[in-house]
Structure 1
Amino acid sequence: MSFPVIRNRRLRSSSALRSLVRENQVTVNDVVQPIFVTHGEGIKDEIPSMPGVYHFSLDRLEEEISEITALGIQAILLFGVPEHKDAIGTSAYDDKGIVQRATHRIKELNPSLLIIADTCLCQFTDTGHCGVIHHHPITGQADVHNDLSLELLVRTAVSQAKAGADIIAPSNMMDGYVQAIRAGLDEAGFDNVPIMAYSVKYASAYYGPFRDAAHSTPQFGDRKTYQMDPANSREALREAESDVIEGADFLMVKPALAYMDIIRMLKDNFDLPVVAYNVSAEYSMIKAAAAQGWINEEAIVMETMTSFKRAGADIILTYFAKDIARYLQNR
């Protein structure tokens, strides 16, 4: 055999050597655990389409927060499922709303746990849409009114910050939402509270189980007029650039698994932390296949998370966060 001989396998010959040259690592500090809090008492109800994920009432939160804390997870993404819904999502910006009360309680249980508050109206409106419905005066067609919705989203963000949320995460995809929320937070004295923008949120089929969890299925139509077309990638750069200009502190891509090219685009074009949201159907598909014995769940989960990191994600929002923390502890 003539010289030179390239032997790339030299760096794969042992576990220690493979670890030494590994380019991407997943740690417990990379993952955020979403949790769902609901009204009532004594509630810990498993979400049928999301095995291992639960609705918790406020009086049952302690066991979940204690488990998350013990596993070393540093942050949660908080969703609220209210008792009352109306056309303008009043309970989203009620200072005594479910998210606000849960935030107070979590801060009592663990003051150092980062609370990322999902800032949207879809769980709180009786339409299931992410804003205020407006009917066109001529055609009568119903759609979400962008600027009227912004006013309520600002009120929601300020109320969440007042309750103690560490990060505001607006998931509504209204035009100008980052600028409006940034101005509202600053005016209210919360200039230190960062915004985790859902910068690139696709109108995806991967959200189905979440809508069961958040009780946020649209009662008519869909969200394609404000969430992105899955076929588009250049548009993602325009969306992210808008959020950067308006003052975002993080840029999120949602979903993650089918959109790793978009994660890489944001990483290559912007210098803010990039967040990947490993969404509900991505979680449920793995859980379902593992339950059938078709796949090795731990291996698939960790390979997927490593792929997000390789694509450029700095932070991963995932329903697997607690599982990942256990996997890492046992290695």
Structure 2
Amino acid sequence: MVFPEYRPRRMRQNENFRAMIRETRLAPEQLVYPLFVMPGKGKKEEVPSMPGVFRLSVDQLKQEAKDCLEVGVRSVILFGLPEKKDAVGSGAHAKNGIVQQAIKELKNTAPDIMVITDVCLCEYTDHGHCGCLAGKEVDNDATLELLAKTALSHAQAGADMVAPSDMMDGRVSEIRSTLDENDFHNVPIMSYAVKYASAFYGPFRDAADCAPQFGDRCSYQMDPANSREALREATLDVDEGADILMVKPAVAYLDIISRLRDEFDLPIAAYHVSGEYAMIKAAAARGWIDEQRVMAETLLSIRRAGADIILTYFAKDMARMLRG
């Protein structure tokens, strides 16, 4: 296949040709829209560092779910902002906690939406770490029971899937056992299997009010320099019962998504995180880039790397674009 006998431009000459041989495609149902839920009524507060993203009171969720379904986005993931925080994040598993209320609201008013819940303690602890503490260190094993209680409370409230994001060793096994023991065999676990200690989380921590009050999360989230370790982390979660493996962040770790896709036959998810979103928004606001084209190219790159599912704040915008 050499020029002039082979001319690749033949198949690029118009959109009909390009569409016919397009290798990678995006669809609205592959997208998951994150929602931040706060106490109160009638509240909708834009996150300053994330234009177009809002903190919502529970009564505002029905309209958000309707908007998602209208453009073909079938799944949301919930993050909660509790009224009170304490050292052990007890609000995370409270029967009438903010996420538990949100789950019930969505399942009652928008039963066709898939409700995924983030399972972590950082939004609920007064110190901002993802587990309970022993001195200044996160106590891995003591945290496992709290995470399992949180996942169970979400399932009891009606969640369709739970997604542990804490990066504690052994948490998938603990959650799976607890769900099964309580007859929630059919609630899948989407594990944040490979979550890096990334600088791209800043706007999220503003949105969820969950920045650590001291130190950092490098002792439990992964070192950005490591890729082989990602395979070990994912293998552990597969062995413990994960149904879906997630990589977070997405764009800075396309190589990791690709490695997991080659290694495992489970569905792969990727979280296009707040910092990745905010950079596109900021550059577009200054007229430096075409927001829609960069959004589409970015999300397509995540799919091309091997992700089956993309969690993104662009979910509704991308779905609208895909629908023309």
Same fold (TM over 0.5): yes
- Distance in 2, matches of 1:3 and 1:129, equals 59
**What amino acid does structure 2 have at the position aligned with 1:134?**
A
Worse-matched range after superposition: 165-174 or 10-19: 10-19
CA distance in 2: counterparts of 1:106 and 1:288, whole angstroms: 31
Structure 1 residues 87 and 329: CA distance shift in structure 2, 3 A: same
| 1:32-66 deviation line (CA, Å, top 9, x unaligned) | 00000000122100000000000101122222122
1:305 to 299, 303, 310: 299
User: What residue number does 2:262 align with?
Assistant: 268
Select the residue among 311, 315, 318 that pairs with 2:312: 318
How many angstroms apart in 1 are the aligned matches of 2:186 and 2:82? 28
Aligned-partner SS, 1:223: coil
- Which of these residues, 172, 177, 191, is aligned with residue 171 of structure 2? 177
Tell whether the 8 Å contact from 2:245 to 2:266 is kept in structure 1 after alignment.
yes
- Secondary structure of the corresponding residue to residue 117 of structure 1: strand
Residue 58 of structure 1 is matched in structure 2 by: 58
In structure 2, the residue matched to 1:151 is 145
Helix, strand or coil at the partner of 1:41: coil
> Would you say 1:11 and 2:5 are equivalent positions?
no
Distance 1:66 1:29 in 2: 14
| Whole-angstrom CA distance in 2 between matches of 1:72 and 1:21 | 24
- Structure 1 SS opposite 2:108: helix
Q: State the alpha-carbon separation in 1 of the partners of residues 69 and 295 from structure 2.
A: 21
Partners of 2:36 and 2:80 within 8 A in 1: yes
Unaligned runs of 5+ in 1: 136-141
Distance 2:127 2:155 in 1: 26
Equivalent in 248, 252, 265 of residue 254 of structure 1: 248
State how far apart, in whole Å, the 2-side matches of 1:3 and 1:228 are: 47
Confirm or deny: 8 A CA contact 2:82 2:123 kept in the other structure: yes
The question of whether the paired residues in 1 share the 8 Å contact of 2:234 and 2:245 is answered with yes
Following the alignment from structure 1 to structure 2, what is the Cα–Cα distance between the partners of residues 36 and 70? 20
Whole-Å separation in 1 of the counterparts to 2:235 and 2:93:
28
- Tell me the amino acid that sits aligned with residue 185 of structure 2: D
Letter in 1 for 2:95: D
Partner of 1:168: 162
Q: What is the CA-CA distance between 1:323 and the residue it aligns to?
A: 0.5
1:296 pairs with one of 290, 295, 307 = 290
Q: Kindly report which structure 2 residues correspond to 1:197-216, keeping only aligned pairs within 5 A, or say none.
A: 197-216=191-210
Tell me what 2:232 maps to.
238
SS in 2 for 1:61: helix
- 1:234-292: CA deviation from partner (whole Å, max 9, x where unpaired): 00000000000011000000000000000000000000000010000000000011111
Q: How far, CA to CA, are the matches of 2:312 and 2:99 in structure 1?
A: 19
Distance in 2, matches of 1:91 and 1:213, equals: 18
Q: Could you tell which deviates more after superposition, 6-15 or 46-55?
A: 6-15
**Corresponding residue for residue 20 of structure 1:** 20
Residue 78 of structure 2 is aligned to residue 78 of structure 1: yes
Determine whether 1:114 maps to 2:114: yes
Partner residue, 1:38:
38
Residue of structure 2 in register with 1:139 after alignment: none
Q: Which is worse superposed, 118-127 or 66-75? A: 66-75
Q: CA deviation at 1:187?
A: 0.5
> How far does the alpha carbon of each residue in 1:48-96 deviate from its partner, in whole angstroms, 9 at most, with x for none?
0000000101122222122112111110011111001000001100110
How far apart in 2 are the matches of 1:249 and 1:306? 23
Find the aligned partners of 2:179 and 2:293 in 1 and give their Cα distance: 42
Shift of 1:300: 0.4
Residue segments in structure 2 that go unaligned for 5+ positions in a row: none
Given that residues 62 and 110 in structure 2 are in contact (C-alpha distance below 8 angstroms), is that contact kept between their aligned partners in structure 1? no
Distance 2:273 2:166 in 1: 16
**How many percent of aligned residue pairs carry the same amino acid?**
58
- The CA deviation string for residues 298-319 of structure 1, in whole angstroms up to 9 with x for no partner, is 1001111111111000000000
Partner residue, 1:97: 97
